[in-house]
Amino acid sequence: MGIEAAIAELERLYPGATRGETAMPGNRYYETAARLDYHLCRCSHGDPSYGIWEFVAEGPQGGAQHVGIDASTLLITCGPKGYHWHRRPVCPA
More confident of the two residues 4 and 58:
4
Spans of all domains in the chain: 3-85
Question: How many other CB atoms are there within 10 angstroms of residue 90's CB atom?
Answer: 20
How confident is the model at residue 88, as a pLDDT? Answer: 60
- The answer to whether the predicted template modeling score (pTM) of the entire model surpasses 0.95 is no
Is 86 a residue whose pLDDT tops 70? Answer: no
